[in-house]
Amino acid sequence: MKFKSFLLCLALAAVSCGQAPRNNSEIPVYLDDAQPIEARVEDAFSRMTLDEKIAIVHAQSKFSSPGVPRLGIPEVWCTDGPHGIRAEVLWDEWDQAGWTNDSITAFPALSGLAATWDRDLSRLYGKNIGEEARYRNKTVLLGPGVNIYRFPLNGRNFEYMGEDPYLAGEMVVPYVEGVQSNGVAVCVKHYALNNSEVNRHVANTIVDDRTLYEIYLPAFKAAVQKGHAWSVMAAYNLYNGEHLCSNEVLLDKILRGEWGFDGVVISDWGGVHNTLQTARHGVDLEYGSWTDGLVMGKTNAYDIYYLAAPYREAIEKGEIGTDELDARVKRILRMIFRTSMDRTRPFGSQTSPEHYAAARKIGAESIVLLKNDGGLLPMSNPRKIVVVGENAVKMMTVGGGSSSLKAKLEVSPLDGIKARYPDAEVVWERGYVGDVGGEYNGVSTGQDLRESRNAATLIADAVKAAQGADYVIFIGGLNKADRQDSEGLDRVQYGLPYGQDAVIEALAAATGKLVVVNISGNAVAMPWKDKVPAIVQDWYLGTQAGHSLADVLSGDVNPSGHLPFTIPVSYADNPVQTERQYPGILRDGTIDGMPVMDMEYTEGIYVGYRWYDLHGGVLFPFGHGLSYTTFEFGEPRLSKNSMQENGTLTVTVPVKNTGAVKGAEVVQLYIADAEASVDRPVKELKGFAKIMLEPGQKADVSFTIDKDALSYFDAEKHAWTAEKGVFKAMVGASAQDIRGTAEFELK
């Protein structure tokens, strides 16, 4: 026995060095990475005490939870994402730890990634950000976010992948695969129905089953079943009167039951509100906002987490058994063996030239050319460029909530334009005053954006500077300040803030060479749309933001981004209008001791283009994006005119570049049920492909249609159903630019 104990000590030491010996009969199974993970999980679990099991299911610091030191099982370390690896904070607080080597690459916001409509770029994104997480020795990256863009005031829409569940589902899978190829677990968030920030802790979402399954769950399901995500974050809000962190339907019945999820469910920070319900049906791992999840500064704070000492007391009193505890401990062990105890995972890297190149490429391909009358863009041999707008210089990586970053580099749009046109005179005028701050949790931009001029003077100075310019580029939009694109609060207006409309109107009256660049993660009103020849939708693009924008404005990169959400004319055109829909109605009584706001999704499945197809009010449609070249679509061809319920058919459309430059087009497939017996949208996205073509080149784009593409969720049967009858395959360049239709029959 002494010899075996000595070997165990050697094995534990070897694990800390990453060199555990293989296939030695004296080495415990859980330490032998040649053994199947399930065998290792069972072996490690069998050696744990009750105290160790309780310890492993809740936090020990702001971003970490314990492993099992006695067994050499490492801690779990989480980091905020999903656009970059968060700066290190103090053990118990949000304040900075003061590290000098935690400055990172800031990647484009996920709204921008979704706008690429490019699965390969999503995988590249995931691989690169996963490398940065691995370099910092993180176990879990808290992202990506796939909550549906329900309406344009949600402060956190910039962190998500748009309004359509199919697009979000297709884009999240390669991101997940890319991150986890580094031995770092993703944590797909915020599961589920977290579609606004106001009242997010007390909002009880009321939504019918069909809407839940068709709109709000598919992207999460894709991440779990196709991407094989290793963890999921439960949201703050409630569903069916139960907090998401202890929700039996969404966690036990759907996620772990119907979808077979074998990973870890992590609470959003401070999202757990009771012990017994959470122990029976809730998260596996509890993290908190303050040191006890509720208030700051209590003694032995982590021991009073709901899944800490109160959990053990409930077991000892017989109020709950240990089966649920055992299951969650095994899930946590499984994640640890997939990550920290996988000796084959790569070492990672941070702020490498490859990461900067990836960020620049993804950023450039995300930018959407909304309008380009007269071919004003790309800019050709400019002698004088006047850049107007605070967003041309304001750093955007700091602020916005948990996705705030400490970037090693952030190239501003102004600097990107100057670098691209070194021989041109580039003049900057502020135009308006927005947010002069630039600090979040101790990370500061170091910028002094205070301004002494009043609004009228700023506009007058901008108009004067614009005289005689070859191009005037207004760069404005939203920012990461409170009530803009930011966590915790929603926007308070659909129109541009800070009086920007007046600046744009004045510039449009002064010059016909005006380009408006909107930087945001949300749609905004554009009452000046018909007065401006060129409009560009930009995003929060991170480290290489300025270079990405300059690449597109110059034509070095032909724009190929397409909108992942609809831009309506006005807020009155969007589907969320009543108080009951948002921000909700205060109900009588409390749940878990908290007041509750009932928020009812009365618009049902009619979110995004599904709504606008029926009601109009579209400024720029979902899927819209122009190019510096043009594309011609031929008639779609079907492989056959009918299909059986369990069969497939193929629709093929020829696409030709009819312009003078190389470019990429996003070909979109929508399906319409022409003979539905139930209420169905006019059409739904069921396929897309991004194709690059040389001038004059022609190529076929094919999509496979199966039963899933034709089905709706029958709530009474609790099953996906495809009704026999006639369907339409509609191929186009946006939801409102359908180039061809082919009919077929499901038998």
Catalytic center residues:
268
Q: For residues 556 and 549, what is the distance between their CA atoms, to the nearest angstrom?
A: 10
**What are the C-alpha distances in Å from 745 to residues 215, 390, 728, 741?**
25, 55, 9, 14
| Nearest CA among 218, 147, 140, 217 for reference residue 179 | 140
Strand ranges in 289-406 using DSSP code E only, listed in sequence order: 368-372, 384-388
CA atoms within 13 A on the CB side of 676: 19
Element (H, E) at 4: helix 2-17
Q: CA 473, CA 414: separation in Å to the nearest integer?
A: 10
Q: What is the DSSP string of 553-603?
A: HHTSS------SS-EESSGGGSS--STTTTT-EEEEEEETTEEEEEEE-TT
Phi, psi dihedrals of residue 243, rounded to the nearest 5°: -60, 145
166-180 as b/e: b if 16+ CB within 10 A: bbbbbbbbbbbbbbb
User: Residue with structure tokens 């999704």?
Assistant: 601
Measure the CA–CA gap between 290 and 287, rounded to whole angstroms.
9
List the one residue out of 509, 562, 539, 512 whose CA is nearest residue 391: 539
> Cβ distance 387 to 417 under 8 Å?
yes
Q: DSSP label at 230? A: S
| Tokens linked to 135 | 């370099």
Residue 47: name the closest of 19, 80, 24, 72 by CA.
Answer: 72
Tell me, what DSSP letter sits at residue 266? E
CB 79 within 8 A of CB 133: yes
Provide φ and ψ at 404, rounded to 5°. -60, 140
Q: Are residues 638 and 651 in contact, defined by beta-carbon separation less than 8 angstroms?
A: yes
Name the residue among 308, 295, 163, 278 with its Cα closest to residue 623: 163
CB atoms inside a 10 Å sphere around CB 493: 11
